[in-house]
């Protein structure tokens, strides 16, 4: 049954009031960026390897990992990961034993052991991060795939057809410490390091089969080798120069909190790499990195999926992202831009705008810094999505406050400058899209090695440009973005979204973007996408998509409705339909019901990091996207009658 506008407005008011009450004194909102148990496990292993005295944190992380174990003995990334995740289970098993709070004979450890052995042992774990942690701590050989990329690649000039900066920034910052450790064949152990050899069913103890390279995967290697031929000097001196360059690369990208690029994952790898270079565990750089990692912990007070209060390590706190989106959502819900909460958020966001140069300038020179990053300690790794999110939240203020106008202009100019040559927008760096790098025989390369135009980034950028910068397809560069989107639509009418799950996310971003810049609702591509969303609507009126979608690259239904995915689908349909459609009415009713439920769909990860290996449950998402969708519904339809 359709809800009245009064009932919907009550829900909008409830969400708005709760968010305003949760704002921090500095103007920010701080919600958990929860990403499985991988970072928790790696942190325990690192702390024990360094013999760092952080007993309370180790115990908290240990308890959280134990609580997340499934009855089958495994750990999962998401609810419908029915077979479990071998790499995550290996990481959890290793960390629990490293912690000292679990013993080999404990029942949870025995269940995990049986699960690992039943699936072929540790040698079958595919995650490159898992392999690296095992190799760095002496449990296995270094992955043969890392030998494909010689560390000397860091010395190649950017003018060559293929060089180090053709990799995405995200992959570079993880690849550098891996190359250092592999080059040194580094391994270290402490008295707390358990022996995992019995879990390798292959007698070679983690030594992989020789790599079989396809003709396609040989292409980037040929270009790399061709570039290396131009380096002058003895092999030993060239190698040492490359190692020195790699070391400096990491040191130059450490933020004020001690972390590398503000990511926990590459910070852990950096510390191991510094040990490989001869740094002592007590070195100030390592100590600061450990403190930075520790500060990334989040204490989740609500019962949630684990049934109790728990502590986790965030891979990168989402404070700027959440603050920008919440401020924007509150304003869409009717909170005045003069409200103290919006003013405080604006001050916080202006202080978070980047002024330092960053690697993004390599492919986009001559542009003044003006973007925003994901977390508040991030000062030189801006991204397009965070920047447009911040600009949306500042939109109502930029016409009346000179300081906000300056931030707005710098941000808009930065977003405009980041458009790729193909017309779309990337996440972090412009024109970092050489497809041959995705052919490398390295796990995860297909998704992480490059930073190409994506439908979600392009759609969200167009939505900002149309609804807030008041631009349209009448501007050539905006039209090029719309053309890119339409040319990358899937055959079924959907779009693939890289940073959310997945086809619902991409389709929402594309539809709202295309409508914002003036594309007609009856355009064949728009109509096809809207029909696709209606076709996949669940019987209960909501929407839900499995994390498996981004692994098989096709829509996989979740067979349950989640708050954020239901809100995305609704928001897209609201953007397209001039009048209330029955599907929208059912969706609104189900969305409001979902906000009062507390079962597994409410904590299902709908953020994406690396297909198959990294998914995110944004604790803020059950507030942000439902509030936006409901507000857009009321703002657009008012008391109009539904379609018949």
**β-bridge pairing 614-618 and 607-610:** antiparallel
Please state whether the peptide bond connecting residue 502 to the residue before it is cis, i.e. omega within 30 degrees of 0: yes
pLDDT at 191 over 50: yes
pLDDT at 637 over 60: yes
280 φ, ψ (degrees, to nearest 5): -80, 150
Residue range 594-615: mean pLDDT, rounded: 95
Residue 205 is predicted with a pLDDT of 58
pLDDT at 119 over 90: yes
Residues in the chain: 644
Q: Which residue matches tokens 């409901």?
A: 630
pLDDT digits 0-9 by tens, 508-562: 999 999 999 999 999 999 999 999 999 999 999 999 999 999 999 999 999 999 9
Contact 189, 133 (CB under 8 A): no
The rounded distance, in Å, linking the Cα atoms of 438 and 216 is 10
Q: Which residue has the higher pLDDT, 309 or 84?
A: 84
Contact 372, 352 (CB under 8 A): yes
The rounded distance, in Å, linking the Cα atoms of 268 and 258 is 11
Cα 244 → chain centroid = 30
pLDDT-based confidence at residue 286 (cuts at 50, 70, 90): very high
pLDDT-based confidence at residue 306 (cuts at 50, 70, 90): very low
Alpha carbon dihedral 325, 331, 332, 334, in 10-degree steps, equals 150
Residue range 182-202: mean pLDDT, rounded: 94
Angle made by CA atoms 76, 78, 83, in degrees to the nearest 5: 50
**β-bridge pairing 607-610 and 297-300:** unpaired
The rounded distance, in Å, linking the Cα atoms of 199 and 201 is 6
- Of 233-237, 420-424, 429-433, 579-583, the range with the lowest mean pLDDT is 233-237
Reported in sequence order, the residue ranges of 232-287 that DSSP labels E, i.e. its strands, are none
pLDDT at 37 over 90: yes
Contact 112, 72 (CB under 8 A): no
pLDDT-based confidence at residue 307 (cuts at 50, 70, 90): low
Q: Is the pTM of this model over 0.75?
A: yes
Q: Is 53 a catalytic residue?
A: no
Residue 302 is predicted with a pLDDT of 64
Residue 471 is predicted with a pLDDT of 97
Residue from 166, 359, 385, 451 carrying the catalytic annotation:
385
- Computed over every residue of the chain, the mean pLDDT equals 94
Alpha carbon dihedral 396, 509, 642, 597, in 10-degree steps, equals -90
Residue range 460-486: mean pLDDT, rounded: 98
Sign of CA dihedral 45, 289, 34, 133: negative
pLDDT-based confidence at residue 204 (cuts at 50, 70, 90): low
Q: Which residue matches tokens 């009450």?
A: 21
Contact 376, 352 (CB under 8 A): yes
Residue 642 DSSP code? B
Percentages of the chain per state (helix, strand, coil), in multiples of 5: 55, 5, 40
Residue range 471-477: mean pLDDT, rounded: 97
Tokens of 252: 């130059």
Residue 404 DSSP code? H
pLDDT at 640 over 80: no
**β-bridge pairing 297-300 and 310-313:** antiparallel
pLDDT digits 0-9 by tens, 407-463: 999 999 999 999 999 999 999 999 999 999 988 878 888 889 999 999 999 999 999
Order of strands, sheet of 607-610, starting from the edge strand that comes earlier in the sequence = 33-34, 614-618, 607-610
pLDDT at 588 over 90: yes
Residue 221 is predicted with a pLDDT of 86
Reported in sequence order, the residue ranges of 548-613 that DSSP labels E, i.e. its strands, are 607-610
Residue 644 is predicted with a pLDDT of 46
Q: What is Dmax (Cα atoms) for the chain? A: 79
Residue 140 DSSP code? S
Alpha helices, DSSP H, located in 418-487: 445-448, 455-467, 476-487
pLDDT at 357 over 50: yes
Phi-psi region of 293 (alpha: psi -120 to 50; beta: other; left: phi over 0): alpha
The rounded distance, in Å, linking the Cα atoms of 44 and 46 is 5
Residue 257 DSSP code? T
pLDDT at 153 over 70: yes
The rounded distance, in Å, linking the Cα atoms of 449 and 444 is 8
Residue 75: other Cβ atoms inside 10 A: 26
CA dist list (Å): 566 to 485, 527, 550, 587: 22, 19, 18, 7
Task: Give the bridge partners for 642, in sequence order.
Answer: 580
Q: Label each residue of 304-323 as H, E or C.
A: HHHCCCEEEECCCCCHHHHH
Q: Label each residue of 26-54 as H, E or C.
A: CCCCCCCEECCCHHHHHHHHHHHHHCCCC
């Amino acid at each position: 049954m359709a809800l009245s506008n009064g009932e919907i407005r009550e829900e909008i008011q409830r969400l708005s009031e709760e968010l305003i009450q949760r704002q921090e004194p500095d103007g920010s909102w701080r919600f958990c960026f929860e990403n499985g148990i991988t970072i928790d496990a790696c942190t325990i292993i690192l702390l024990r390897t360094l013999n760092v005295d952080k007993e309370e944190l180790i115990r908290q992380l240990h308890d959280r990992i134990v609580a997340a174990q499934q009855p089958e003995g495994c750990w999962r990334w998401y609810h419908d990961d029915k077979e479990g995740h071998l790499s995550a289970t290996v990481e959890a098993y290793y960390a629990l034993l490293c912690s000292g709070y679990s013993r080999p004979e404990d029942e949870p450890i025995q269940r995990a052991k049986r699960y690992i052995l039943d699936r072929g042992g540790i040698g079958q774990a595919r995650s490159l991060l898992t392999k690296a942690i095992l190799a760095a701590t002496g449990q296995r050989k270094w992955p043969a795939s890392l030998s494909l990329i010689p560390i000397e690649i860091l010395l190649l000039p950017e003018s060559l057809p293929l060089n180090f900066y053709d990799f995405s920034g995200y992959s570079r910052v993880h690849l550098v410490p891996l190359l250092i450790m592999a080059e040194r064949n580094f391994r270290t152990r402490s008295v707390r390091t358990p022996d995992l050899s019995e879990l390798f069913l292959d007698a070679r103890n983690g030594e992989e089969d020789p790599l079989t390279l396809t003709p396609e995967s040989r292409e980037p290697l040929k270009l790399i080798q061709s570039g290396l031929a131009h380096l002058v000097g003895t092999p030993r001196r060239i190698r040492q120069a490359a190692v020195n360059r790699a070391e400096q690369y990491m040191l130059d990208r450490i933020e004020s909190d001690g972390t590398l690029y503000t990511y926990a994952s590459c910070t852990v790898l950096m510390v191991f790499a510094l040990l490989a270079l001869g740094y002592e565990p007590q070195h100030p750089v390592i100590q600061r990195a450990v403190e930075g990692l520790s500060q990334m912990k989040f204490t989740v007070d609500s019962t949630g999926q684990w049934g109790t209060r728990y502590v986790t390590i965030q891979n990168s706190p989402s404070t700027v992202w959440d603050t920008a989106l919440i401020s924007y959502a509150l304003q869409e819900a009717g909170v005045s831009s003069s409200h103290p909460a919006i003013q405080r958020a604006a001050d916080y966001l202006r202080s978070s705008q980047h002024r330092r140069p960053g690697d993004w300038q390599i492919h986009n020179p001559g542009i003044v810094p003006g973007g925003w990053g994901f977390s508040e300690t991030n000062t030189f790794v801006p991204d397009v999505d965070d920047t447009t999110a911040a600009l949306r939240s500042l939109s109502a203020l930029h016409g009346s406050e000179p300081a906000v106008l300056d931030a707005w202009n710098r941000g808009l100019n930065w977003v405009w400058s980041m458009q790729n040559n193909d017309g779309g927008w990337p996440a972090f760096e412009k024109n970092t899209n050489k497809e041959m790098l995705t052919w490398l025989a390295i796990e995860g390369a297909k998704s992480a090695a490059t930073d190409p135009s994506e439908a979600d980034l392009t759609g969200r950028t167009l939505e900002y440009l149309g609804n807030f910068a008041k631009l349209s397809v009448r501007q050539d560069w905006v039209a090029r973005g719309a053309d890119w989107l339409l040319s990358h639509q899937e055959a079924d009418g959907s779009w693939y979204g890289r940073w959310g799950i997945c086809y619902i996310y991409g389709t929402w971003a594309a539809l709202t973007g295309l409508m914002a810049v003036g594309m007609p609702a009856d355009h064949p591509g728009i109509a096809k996408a809207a029909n696709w969303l209606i076709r996949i609507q669940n019987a209960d009126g909501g929407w839900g998509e499995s994390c498996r979608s981004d692994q098989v690259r096709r829509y996989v239904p979740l067979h349950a409705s989640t708050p954020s995915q239901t809100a995305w689908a609704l928001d897209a349909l609201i953007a397209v339909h001039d009048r209330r459609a029955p599907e929208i009415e059912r969706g609104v009713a189900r969305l409001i019901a979902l906000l009062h439920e507390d079962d597994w769909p409410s904590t299902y990860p709908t953020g994406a990091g690396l297909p198959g290996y990294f998914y995110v449950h944004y604790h803020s998402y059950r507030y942000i996207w439902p509030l936006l969708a409901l507000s857009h519904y009321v703002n657009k339809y008012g008391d109009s009658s539904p379609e018949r």
